[in-house]
Amino acid sequence: MQLSDILWGQASTNISKETDEQIVMATTRIRNIKTLDIIRANNMIPSFNKFHSLNKGTQFDRWDLIPRYLAIEEHFNENDYGWEMFRKLRLHQSCEFGDGHSQKLYDQTAREDFEILIDSIQKRGFSRKFPLIVNEETLHITKGWLRFSCCLYFNIDIIPCRYDVLDPESEYNLNWMQNDVGYNSKEMNQIVSCRDRIFEKIESKILNVEIDDEEE
């Protein structure tokens, strides 16, 4: 092997290491992203809302956000059913994604942790130590729906985020909420009403902003 080949091999290794480091840095860097941009990317604005045209698509498939928001409302004594809605959702998801052996403990722990999170964000705002995880291309949330529901409740218009390459398909639509999670007709009406209520509440601070021409 010639010296030039050895030197090229060493250079290639160094380039590879630098590239890997750049990739790691790209995925760990925290960026401030507008809450509105995430809302638009996930098609969250109801059809009756005057800002509905800001949605980038037509289908909202993350109705599992709403029981989380309802739980926050009950935390502040604004309803008397939010935690039960949250319990149903988490119980179903523990069966769907977990081992199913400690569901009651899982529910209790999830509520306690969520209440700590709610109080923390209310007092200190959204911590950059725990950014929302979103797909870099689509801005679909891959981790942090509890934190995002707090952002909506507290009208936080800028969210620290970290990019992720994952972009899992999500079909948490109303059929899934009713048939898989098991919400009854009354609960489904409460869920839909809550989605409408959220966007009336955040209209002035989060929705009523100018959109860059290139994004329209």
The residue type of 66 is I
Kindly state whether residue 173 falls inside one of the protein's structural domains.
Answer: yes
Kindly state whether residue 3 falls inside one of the protein's structural domains.
Answer: no
Paired tokens of 196:
């409408």
Kindly state whether residue 105 falls inside one of the protein's structural domains.
Answer: yes
Q: Which pLDDT band, with edges at 50, 70 and 90, does 59 fall under?
A: confident
Residue 25: pLDDT over 70: no
The count of structural domains within the chain is 1
The structure's pTM equals 0.81
Closest of 183, 124, 117, 172 to residue 150, by C-alpha: 117
Sheet of 132-135, strand order: 30-34, 158-164, 132-135, 141-143
Paired tokens of 38:
């995430």
User: Is there a contact between 52 and 45 (Cβ–Cβ < 8 Å)?
Assistant: yes
The residue type of 14 is N
Q: Which pLDDT band, with edges at 50, 70 and 90, does 3 fall under?
A: very low
Q: Which pLDDT band, with edges at 50, 70 and 90, does 26 fall under?
A: very low
pLDDT in tens, 132-163: 999 999 999 999 999 999 999 999 999 999 99
pLDDT value for 17:
43
Domain that holds residue 116: 32-211
Kindly state whether residue 216 falls inside one of the protein's structural domains.
Answer: no
Kindly state whether residue 59 falls inside one of the protein's structural domains.
Answer: yes
Q: How far apart are the first and last CA of the chain?
A: 57
pLDDT value for 36:
95
In the DSSP assignment, the letter for residue 7 is: H
Spatial distance between the Cα atoms of 187 and 28, rounded to a whole number of angstroms: 39
pLDDT value for 7:
43
Kindly state whether residue 14 falls inside one of the protein's structural domains.
Answer: no
Kindly state whether residue 1 falls inside one of the protein's structural domains.
Answer: no
Kindly state whether residue 11 falls inside one of the protein's structural domains.
Answer: no
